[in-house]
Structure 1
Amino acid sequence: MITLTTRSGEVQSLSVVDAAPTLGDEIVWLDLLSPTREEELLVERYLGFEVPTRDDLKDIEPSSRLYSEDGAVFMTASLVLRANSDSPELTDVAFILAANRLVTIRYTTPKSFDLFRAAMHRAPDSCQSGPKLLGRLFETIVDRTAEILEQGVLEIDALSQQVFGDKSRVRRRPPRYLEERLMDVASHHRLVNKTRDSLMSLSRVLTYLYTVPSVQEDKDLRELCRTISRDIQSLSEHASFISGNITFLLDASLGLINVEQNAIIKIFSIASVVFLPPTLVASIYGMNFQNMPELNWTYGYPASLALMVISGIIPFFFFRWKGWL
């Protein structure tokens, strides 16, 4: 699907069947969403050069994501996709500046694109040229990335409360409660890592975009790119801080699991020691020797029971006195 945006902010769809021979000067943005081969050929005819295909975006190396060719500037950035799900991913989006127009090629729908289209009417000046449009689009992408990190911080804080919590809540935990929280920690760790990779990709794109002549000639756009680059750097540092907190939360969860397991093992160990003396007494009087004086004693059986109870109580209170129970 091809979506066209004019200088006035009007959005319209372009059909291969009803396409005009040339593009009008009022068109500043061509957005290709999962284009067919016919749509790719149509855009190539309009622009006069080949556009990256889906295989090109998939196989492109990091060192070849930024280049200029045939008077056009080609940039590929990785954006976070499905940030609110348990399996966030990165999707590659191509940004092309050609003849004062912006061309975007994508095969998914990042939320930042929808947010940008919804807010285009608030900044009509951004649609006057392709570079300005691209600058505002990158600003929205970075804002959306900041929103993802902010939401991640809130969820991690809530998860931290679940892991540590108060003492009354800790005592009522089900047996596998902390093991289930480890899966949540891993999910957040994956999201933050994907966000950091996306920010690194955006940083490289903004650095390259800043050197483009059409950007250098526009003072406002140049300042906007500089501001976005600073925001990306701040978000990258914040993502590193969040990653450190997640690592601490993971280590703390594993430590609490070990503590609970050690407490269970300690109970079994103390129980075995407590029952060892009574077992010894019962074993002695369970031997079938003929000459055992206590066998003919009237109070032998009650005395042996009392001895077993006493031999079990003494270690129990000794462990309590030591603070092991």
Structure 2
Amino acid sequence: MITAYCSNCQSIELVDLTKVEALRDDIVWIDMVEPTREEEIYVEKALGIEVPTRDDLKDIEPSARLYTEDDAVFMTASLVWKAETDAPVLTDVAFILAGKRLITIRYAQPKSFALFIAALHRVPAHWRTGASLLAKLFETIIDRTAEILELSVARIDVLSTHVFGDRAKKIRKPANYLEEKLRDIAAHQRLVSKVRDSLASMSRLMTFFYNVPAVQQDHGTKELCRTVSRDIQSLSEHSSYIAGNITFLLDASLGLINIEQNSIIKIFSIASVVFLPPTLVASIYGMNFESMPELRWAEGYPYSLGLMLISAIIPFFFFRWKGWL
């Protein structure tokens, strides 16, 4: 699907691809979402540029993601998609500056694009050029990334309360409660990792974009790029801090699981020691030697049971006194 946006924020969906006509002069942004080969050919003929394909976007070589060709600037960044789900992914998006027009090519629906389109009418008229719109779009992408990190921090805080707070209240939880929390920790780590990869991609892109002539010639766009670059740096440091908190939470959860396992082993160990003296008594009286004094004693059976009980009680209270139970 191809959607064109004019300088007055009017959107036009290009559906007639049977003939290539000159695009309207007021079209400043062409948004291509999961374009077909016919749609790619249409844009290539209309703008006189070669549109990157889906396979081209997956290339990780810097020379294939950031380059200039025939006065057109080609940039590719990795953005976080499906951040609210349990399986966030990175999706590659191409940004092309061809003259005064911006062309975006994407095969996903990152929320930052929907936010930018919804706020497009608030962009000042003198900012509605390809380079200026792209700078504003980058600002929206970074704002959305900051929102994802804030959401992740809030969820990690709740998770930390579940791991530590419930234990302080001595609330009984299922046996595999902490194991389930480990899965939640892994999900948060995956999201923050995707965000960090996206920020690294955007940082490299902004360095390249800042030196584009169209940006250097526009003071407002140039200053906005500086602001976005500083935000990327701040968010990168913040994401590292969050990753450290997740690592601490992971280590603490594993430590709590280890403590619980040690407690279980301790109980079994103490139980085996407690029942060791009664077992010894039973073993002695289980030997059918004819010369044993208690063998023909009428009170021998209750005597041996009492002796086994006493030999179990004494170690039990000794362990209680020592604080091992």
Q: How many angstroms does 1:70 deviate by?
A: 0.6
**Counterpart in 1 of 2:6?**
6
**Counterpart in 2 of 1:97?**
97
**Counterpart in 2 of 1:84?**
84
Contact 2:152 2:188 in 1 (8 A): yes
Q: How many angstroms does 1:18 deviate by?
A: 6.1
Matched, 1:304 2:304: yes
Q: Secondary structure at the match of 1:164?
A: helix
Q: Secondary structure at the match of 1:231?
A: helix
- Which runs of structure 2 are paired with 1:64-75 in the superposition (5 Å)? 64-75=64-75
Q: How many angstroms does 1:168 deviate by?
A: 5.9
**Counterpart in 2 of 1:186?**
186
Q: Matches of 1:149 and 1:39 in 2, distance apart?
A: 36
Cα gap change, 1:260/1:64 in structure 2, threshold over 3 Å: closer, same or farther?
Answer: same
Q: Secondary structure at the match of 2:90?
A: strand
Q: How many angstroms does 1:226 deviate by?
A: 0.1
Amino acid in structure 2 at the alignment position of 1:288:
N
Q: Secondary structure at the match of 1:280?
A: helix
Q: How many angstroms does 1:16 deviate by?
A: 3.3
**Counterpart in 2 of 1:58?**
58
Comparing 116-125 with 221-230, which one deviates more in the overlay? 116-125
Q: Matches of 2:54 and 2:201 in 1, distance apart?
A: 18
Contact 2:20 2:46 in 1 (8 A): no
Q: Secondary structure at the match of 1:59?
A: coil
Cα gap change, 1:126/1:249 in structure 2, threshold over 3 Å: closer, same or farther?
Answer: farther
Q: Secondary structure at the match of 2:68?
A: strand
Amino acid in structure 2 at the alignment position of 1:151:
L
Cα gap change, 1:126/1:174 in structure 2, threshold over 3 Å: closer, same or farther?
Answer: farther
Contact 2:33 2:108 in 1 (8 A): yes
Amino acid in structure 2 at the alignment position of 1:233:
Q
Q: Matches of 1:192 and 1:170 in 2, distance apart?
A: 31
Q: Matches of 1:222 and 1:49 in 2, distance apart?
A: 25
Q: Matches of 1:267 and 1:320 in 2, distance apart?
A: 12
Q: How many angstroms does 1:29 deviate by?
A: 0.5
**Counterpart in 1 of 2:135?**
135
Cα gap change, 1:53/1:258 in structure 2, threshold over 3 Å: closer, same or farther?
Answer: same
Q: Secondary structure at the match of 2:95?
A: strand
Query: Which ranges in structure 1 are unaligned for 5 or more consecutive residues?
Result: none
Amino acid in structure 1 at the alignment position of 2:154:
L
Contact 1:74 1:96 in 2 (8 A): yes
Matched, 1:286 2:315: no
Amino acid in structure 2 at the alignment position of 1:15:
V
Q: Matches of 1:126 and 1:288 in 2, distance apart?
A: 107
Contact 1:58 1:92 in 2 (8 A): yes
Contact 2:77 2:202 in 1 (8 A): yes
**Counterpart in 1 of 2:209?**
209
Matched, 1:259 2:259: yes
Q: How many angstroms does 1:296 deviate by?
A: 1.7
Q: Secondary structure at the match of 2:4?
A: strand
User: Could you tell me the TM-score, scaled by structure 2's length?
Assistant: 0.97
Identity of aligned residues (%): 67
Amino acid in structure 2 at the alignment position of 1:278:
P
Amino acid in structure 1 at the alignment position of 2:261:
Q
Amino acid in structure 1 at the alignment position of 2:54:
R
**Counterpart in 2 of 1:240?**
240
**Counterpart in 1 of 2:38?**
38
Contact 1:16 1:38 in 2 (8 A): no
Q: Deviations over 1:10-50 (max 9, x none)?
A: 11101233655111210100111111111111100111121
Amino acid in structure 1 at the alignment position of 2:42:
L
Cα gap change, 1:63/1:320 in structure 2, threshold over 3 Å: closer, same or farther?
Answer: farther
